[in-house]
Structure 1
Amino acid sequence: MSASDRTLLFLLVLLLPAALWLPGYVVMHYPEQVFLLRSTPWYTLGAALLLSQVYQQGRVGFITLLAMGCYGLIHTRLAGPMIGPQAELEFWLLGLCAPLLALLLLVLPERQPFHRLGLGHWLLLALLLGALIGISQSGDWAMSLHAWLAPRAFLFMDSSPAPLLLVLWQLMCACAAWLVYLNRGESGDVAALLLTVTLMLMTLGFARPLIAASLFAVLGLALFVSVLEHGHQIAFLDELTGIPGRRALNLALKRLGRRYTLAMTDIDHFKKFNDTYGHDVGDEVLKLVAARLSKVKGGGKVYRYGGEEFTILFAGKTPKQCRAALEAVRQDIEEYPFMVRSSKERPEDNQDGKRQRGSGGGKQVQITLSLGVAQRSRKYGDVESVIKAADTALYAAKKAGRNCIRQAPEK
């Protein structure tokens, strides 16, 4: 399970206790804070909206706006007891249409909320909210629609207006958003899933006091954290390989103690490989090497330094303590079967590619690494000199025939 998956699971689990515990606790122990709780969603959702604009997460921004529209409708028109067909109809239409619109925002091209190209998305949101209010105010037609929906509504409790079909529809939309997230893994997919789960929990517990306020407040916090994590990935993770990049390495080097070992490594003959097989295959090699290097033992942490060069950092270790781990990862990459396939032979599905790797359907090539190792010492007293010494040792490994490890001299 990746870090983003663990964050998503944590945010989903966070919604449930908020729905069950927070509203009743505030009403019972802090009745004077009810107004503050009702206002909290505007602050958390507003913060998520602003952060999504900073990181140019258009889908998250519009899904946040959709959440704000849903809460605004609930807060102004459905906050009191659900009495009469008009209120029930608005509630049902909101629960049916909002998850569908969230899924539609995942399909439409991504647009920034505060950009002229996002005008169509604004119109779509306005159309939904306007249609909900307009239909509920349309007199005889609204009564006919309510009469058609009412016999099909299964009430979980007498005081709840939650129809079973509405919950099942929201569950299907949540499953669809989850599938999109598994396939694409973008923060906008997380936002749609969180909003749909929020609506489903609200539908199940609408009779509880302040349920909408607590759930949408937590939703805003969850969206804020999700966008913040996306910003962290942009800043510190290499986009191609998914491992920490140069900025993360610089930050890690500032936190090191007095003892550490650093290994600089790059892929042998990578430029020739790119010229022969193309940059697409070269990118696959980089991702493969990054994945294998990330399995290094001995407490090593791998970073992409740039191009085909990687850095392995061992905090609190000497080269002697790191040698076996570096030799193991060098040998692992040397022995790993990498098949170069033509575009017609290469499977579109990543899982199929993993299953076929090493068996037929292309030309098998060998990938090797050269590594240069240096540690902080009296001779190399600062980070820059350690990196330079490791680079010099890497050059020595190249001169020695490549696919080997060389250590910078201590004296």
Structure 2
Amino acid sequence: MSFSIVITNWFRLLLPLILMVFIGLGIDNVIDLTRANLGIVSHLPFVLLAIAILLGHIFKQSRIAMVASALCVAYWLIQARLQTPLSSGTTILELSLLAGLLPIALVLVYSYKDSNLFSRSFIVYGAIIVMLLLWSYVTLTYFYEGGFDNINETYLYVLPQVSKLPFILVIYSLAMVLISAICVLNRNQIIDVVVYSATLLSSTTFVFFDVAYISSTLFSLIGILLLIYLLSASYELAFMDTLTEIPGRLALESDLKHLGRRFTIAMLDIDHFKSFNDTYGHDTGDDVLKLVATKLKQVSGKAKVYRYGGEEFTILFKGKTAAQAKEHLESLRAAIESYDMVLRNQDKRPKSNKQGSKIRGGGENTNHVNVTISIGVADSSESRKVSVVLKSADSALYKAKQSGRNQVCLA
């Protein structure tokens, strides 16, 4: 499976749902298997989550380790406190507190940046988890002393045909899952899918808490997914360009092996980029690279885009000739040329209009700049060897540069 498919937001959104559906369809077999290996299965979530915490430290993915830590504490509470019928004692109240506080603990990881486990952020997060546990203890103590009159008819009101969990918490859990799913669809970062998967599976555990061995089954699945996401995070660091957030050179080399019989390769370069950096500063130069990458993501023709290196990008068209791809590339070139980029740091603007004349649009008092791109295009009609076509596209790019820039040149 292509790496570009694996990291799509829809794949990441549907994967835990599909796995959960498979478990639901075979729940009787899962129960029988768990019952036969109860000693191992009941401790499996602890093992998987502990490995996730360790790898989170090694890969400097402390936020995933935070999620694993919160889940580990939640599973320990389930095993230690919630193995009695929901109708007995304070079991339903304790389950409700856990179902309400765990999604909050998961969302809190967005407040921190990734590091190792010995960072200040991880220690602070651990302290917050302890505070939530203390608050829950105080709440339970108050309940023991006769507080919360009629709580079973109000906040803990249950619709048995829906769930044994209080109905208000069922709605709350659904809302938290939907919010985390929206984050996956809009941002599609590793931490988004981690929080989404953990929220989805833990909330499903609480909603269907009366199903035998549901906690050990779904928390084991969460542990497995966290390990997959940790490996995916390290994989992305190698295959994704962190500045532009599009696939990098390694991803390109991987996808070049699966182009098929007909394809087109376009090499793209930002005009006068060195002069732009010298004139406006490297921070603004980075903004230009991000802008171009954003526009590249919008290119039509079902193209795939990559950062080749520096200010150079590559675009792949499967099943298209160079002539067919040229229309899409011309639209891309025009869209970038017409885009007015606002300068954020006015101190780094050129002192004179002449100094930035090659790359600036507007008059002397303008707050905007415009960039242009040159594109070289070649297709598989020249050769079936990808390396030959890539070299030909690069030569066409050089020709576009020599011919005045800001144009699309076919090999």
Q: 1:124 — aligned with what?
A: 128
Residue 227 of structure 2 is aligned to residue 227 of structure 1: no
Matches within 5 A, 1:24-39: 24-28=28-32, 31-39=35-43
List per-residue Cα deviations over 1:13-53 (Å, max 9, x = no partner): 24652674454333357741344443332344334334433
Q: Which structure has more RCO (C-alpha within 8 Å, separation ≥ 6)?
A: 1
Matches within 5 A, 1:80-119: 80-108=84-112, 112-115=116-119, 118-119=122-123
Q: 2:66 — aligned with what?
A: 62
SS of the residue 1:265 aligns to: strand
Residue 213 of structure 2 is aligned to residue 206 of structure 1: no
Q: 2:158 — aligned with what?
A: 155
SS of the residue 2:200 aligns to: helix
Q: 1:339 — aligned with what?
A: 340
**Residues 335, 366 of structure 1: 8 Å contact kept:** no
Matches within 5 A, 1:338-377: 338-343=339-344, 363=368, 365=370, 367-371=372-376, 373=378
TM-score by length of structure 2 reads 0.75
Q: Which amino acid aligns with 1:329?
A: L
Q: 1:303 — aligned with what?
A: 306
**Residues 53, 113 of structure 1: 8 Å contact kept:** yes
Could you say if the C-alpha distance between residues 310 and 199 of structure 1 is closer, same or farther in structure 2, counting changes exceeding 3 Å?
Answer: closer
SS of the residue 2:42 aligns to: helix
List per-residue Cα deviations over 1:162-186 (Å, max 9, x = no partner): 2123333434444554566667654
Could you say if the C-alpha distance between residues 43 and 322 of structure 1 is closer, same or farther in structure 2, counting changes exceeding 3 Å?
Answer: farther
Q: 1:45 — aligned with what?
A: 49
241, 251, 255: which one pairs with 1:248?
A: 251
Q: Which amino acid aligns with 2:146?
A: S
Could you say if the C-alpha distance between residues 362 and 104 of structure 1 is closer, same or farther in structure 2, counting changes exceeding 3 Å?
Answer: same
Please provide the CA RMSD for this pair. 4.1
SS of the residue 1:99 aligns to: helix
Q: 2:357 — aligned with what?
A: none
CA distance in 2, matches of 1:143, 1:169: 28
Matches within 5 A, 1:135-214: 136=140, 138=141, 142-145=144-147, 147=149, 149-152=151-154, 153-157=156-160, 161-175=164-178, 177=180, 185-214=188-217
TM-score by length of structure 1 reads 0.75
CA distance in 2, matches of 1:254, 1:181: 29
- Is the deviation greater in 366-375 or in 202-211? 366-375
CA distance in 2, matches of 1:327, 1:305: 22
Residue 326 of structure 2 is aligned to residue 326 of structure 1: yes
Q: 1:355 — aligned with what?
A: none
SS of the residue 2:31 aligns to: helix
CA distance in 1, matches of 2:74, 2:274: 54
Q: How big is the shift at 1:389?
A: 5.4
Gaps of 5+ in 1: 346-360
Q: Which amino acid aligns with 1:150?
A: N
272, 275, 281: which one pairs with 1:272?
A: 275
SS of the residue 1:144 aligns to: coil
List per-residue Cα deviations over 1:315-373 (Å, max 9, x = no partner): 788xxx3244136403541365211334499xxxxxxxxxxxxxxx9657462314264
CA distance in 1, matches of 2:136, 2:186: 32
CA distance in 1, matches of 2:107, 2:27: 29
Residue 402 of structure 2 is aligned to residue 399 of structure 1: yes
Could you say if the C-alpha distance between residues 89 and 19 of structure 1 is closer, same or farther in structure 2, counting changes exceeding 3 Å?
Answer: farther
Aligned residue-pair number = 386
Could you say if the C-alpha distance between residues 87 and 143 of structure 1 is closer, same or farther in structure 2, counting changes exceeding 3 Å?
Answer: farther
Could you say if the C-alpha distance between residues 222 and 146 of structure 1 is closer, same or farther in structure 2, counting changes exceeding 3 Å?
Answer: farther
CA distance in 1, matches of 2:256, 2:162: 60
Could you say if the C-alpha distance between residues 372 and 201 of structure 1 is closer, same or farther in structure 2, counting changes exceeding 3 Å?
Answer: closer
**Residues 261, 376 of structure 1: 8 Å contact kept:** no
Could you say if the C-alpha distance between residues 341 and 290 of structure 1 is closer, same or farther in structure 2, counting changes exceeding 3 Å?
Answer: closer
Q: How big is the shift at 1:394?
A: 3.0
217, 222, 228: which one pairs with 2:220?
A: 217
Could you say if the C-alpha distance between residues 116 and 240 of structure 1 is closer, same or farther in structure 2, counting changes exceeding 3 Å?
Answer: closer
CA distance in 2, matches of 1:382, 1:52: 38
